Amino acid sequence: MEVPDQFLKAILEQDTPVVTHQGAVFVRAPEIATTELTPDGLLRAEHPERLANLPAPWRLLRHEAVLDGKMPGAHVDARVFERCLWRRYARQLQRLAETPDDDPVRCAAWIVAPYLPDWLRTWEATGRVALRELAPGCDAVEPSLFPIVWIAANELPLHDALIPFLVARSGKRKVRELMRWILGRCSPEWVRAMIRSLPEVRDAMADFTFEITSPEDKARGDESLRAFINAWPNVADEFRAEGLGPLQHQFSRRLGRPLTAAEHATLLSRLRTHGPDRLGDVVLDLSRDELAVWITDPAAR
């Protein structure tokens, strides 16, 4: 016995060119890799009433959202948008299998990226979609049978509840702003994990200042900076080099000549191993000849 859908395919394949006078054809669909159907995750509103007073996008979460995230450096093109919708449709099929009368509005599609891309604004300008601002950094893409929300991390306000989205920020200025704000709020372990996972944070620490409001904030901020230095020792050397200028000048005056490149590297290394106090004692206590020996002696203390 013929399977009905196979019969339908056969008739479409056979008759379409004939009845359309070669104006159309029916092609058997290629297999589509199912790995493309797995989203980054699902956000579920277990207690929606607890989200009502939180900043968007949290307060926009009514039931469930299929979430795809793009971090700095990743491509944010139309495929990102279409892939998220595709994954959301696949999830909705699962939901319908569990609850046949499930309303599509209960399953949203959320895309988290550093910014709202130009191609999406072009789509709006040409009438393909309409963008409706729901809150700073949160735009609805319409029309749609279900909520589609583009979350631009660079435009979100700095708020403790939004940290899970804010980590998608990109650009030196935006990342610096985030890091200045985040030190003293998150644990050193959290800061260390962020630094190791997000390369853009390295550049953000080039000119680092943050406001101290209490001794507790200072202690936590100091520990977070230590975590940063431990995670990026080469950047720590850059910071030390910036503070090496006065000592280098004192060594040059004492020796009566500029330091060589090798001596400068030795001084930077000993700033790390001996500390600034010891280097200050050495340059003041040793004679010119003794200092020349000290800076070339690998075992010097």
CA angle in degrees (0–180, nearest 5) for 93-69-66: 20
Copy the structure tokens of residue 222.
Answer: 């100091």
Q: Prior bond to 104 cis, omega within 30?
A: no
- Asked whether the beta carbons of 251 and 284 are under 8 A apart, the reply is no
Q: Provide the residue ranges of all domains of the chain, joining segments of one domain with +.
A: 34-155, 171-239, 243-294
CB under 8 Å to 13, separation ≥6 — which residues? 26, 27, 28
CB under 8 Å to 273, separation ≥6 — which residues? none
Query: For the residues 19-47, what does the mean pLDDT come to?
Result: 77
Question: Which residue reads 């904030």 in tokens?
Answer: 217
Q: Would you give the distance in Å from CA 214 to the centre of its chain?
A: 29
User: Is it the case that residue 151 has pLDDT exceeding 90?
Assistant: yes
pLDDT, residue 270, reads 80
pLDDT, residue 236, reads 54
* Strands, sheet with 130-135, edge to edge from the N-terminal-most edge strand: 41-44, 64-69, 107-113, 148-152, 138-142, 130-135
Higher pLDDT among residues 111 and 30, named by residue: 111
Maximum average pLDDT range among 7-16, 70-79, 239-248? 70-79
**Cα–Cα dist 270/264, whole Å:** 10
pLDDT tens, position by position, 93-110: 999 999 999 999 999 999
User: Is it the case that residue 253 has pLDDT exceeding 90?
Assistant: no
Global pTM reads 0.65
